[in-house]
Amino acid sequence: MISEFEPGGALYQVIPEVDRTRDPPETFLLGLGLWDRANVKHTKEEKDRTKGQVVRIDRENRVLARSPELSNIVYQLQPTSEGRIFVGCRNGDLMYLNPDLSIRRKINFQSKGLYFWTYNGCDLVATMREGAVVFFSLFSGRWEDSDYAHVVQVVDPSIRMWPVLHDSSLCFHTGHDRYLAGSYRGHLVVIEDRKVVKVLDRVGEKRSATWTLDLVNNRDFLGEWSSARYLVGTARGEIWSFDRELEDRVLVFQNESAITATAPLNNMQIAIGDLKGDLHVWSLDGTIFHYPNPKQEQTHSNTIWWIAPEYSGHFPEDLGPKGRLQPDTRPGGILRVAYSNGQLRTFRAT
């Protein structure tokens, strides 16, 4: 571990800011919930009254700016190339921040909860508590008006959706804009051109919440050169590898604790965070390097909710003993990891 920083609240996101003139990124946005998650009782009432905040830091973890307190816990941040920052809160509020993190306006859209996001340069796509996925057309000219939000109901409204993935490479080959979304009941849903085209009732052999989604290009995690694969992490600690048709399924990783965050590092490695707060770097050859969570004594598990690899236009290529990345001055091996009990830890995956 290179450093540890506590920004002043439970930490759910760490996002590099878009700046094509700087490589690697110089600033990062943090999404917070302003509560003592490690020690207070986790009740709906406590979460409902918890405020949120967005914080900007530099590479040395110096705080550059803080937003005003927001209505609820920040579950997702989406900076854009125009310097605009969209924020989704646990209670369903969606707002737009100025570059200085002041609030510009709240978007007129009603929801019981907005969770994970992806941005394709035109549409901001989010999963919802009500079993749906919503598309916000940011270039409609009236992006703040809920009339320009298109909701796709994918499962029963009583089921919470969680991760979402944009398969942008498929659009280039087929002309279809494809998204995958997972639910707390274990569904895996395929959406093409804003229509549901396939639904799996469960990912694994037994039903379990679907918590992470990734796309691995060129080399899959079965050790063979082939078409891209989807990697799906579950609350049972599994990672399943699927082909694009969701017909070929292989269990490729089994953890003792639920998989809560994943991030491919290159064509041979993936970083994995779990419910207990342990970080793992898993290699294609089956070797695993563990970074145990040092704060196991807290009342509530110090879950890893987000992993942000630092890329610099390339991936690290040389593997050392046991499949680890060699010590390297290139920034590809740097990981910034968000822990739910309030720590931002920076690692070099060596």
Task: List the chain domain ranges.
Answer: 1-106+294-350
What tokens were used for 169?
């490479």
CA angle 58, 64, 67 (to 5 degrees): 125
pLDDT tens for the 350 residues of the chain, in order: 788 999 999 999 999 886 655 556 789 999 999 998 888 888 889 999 999 999 999 999 999 999 999 999 998 888 876 678 889 898 888 888 999 999 988 887 888 888 888 888 778 899 999 999 999 876 655 555 555 789 999 999 999 999 999 987 766 566 678 999 999 999 999 999 899 999 999 998 889 999 999 988 644 444 444 568 899 999 999 999 999 889 999 998 999 999 999 998 877 788 999 999 999 998 877 778 888 887 655 556 899 999 998 854 333 333 222 233 333 333 347 899 999 999 999 988 65
Whether 192 contacts 177, CB under 8 Å: yes
Contacts of 189 (CB under 8 A, 6+ apart): 133, 154, 155, 180, 181, 182, 183, 196, 198, 199, 200
CA atoms within 13 A on the CB side of 216: 28
What order do you get walking across the sheet with 149-153 strand by strand?
Answer: 114-119, 123-128, 132-137, 149-153
Burial of 318 (0-12, 13-18, 19+ CB in 10 A): exposed
Place of tokens 């909860």: 113
Distance, in Å, from the CA atom of 182 to the CA atom of 202, rounded to the nearest integer, reads 9
Distance, in Å, from the CA atom of 200 to the CA atom of 209, rounded to the nearest integer, reads 12
CA angle 109, 159, 39 (to 5 degrees): 85
Please give the pLDDT value at position 236: 96
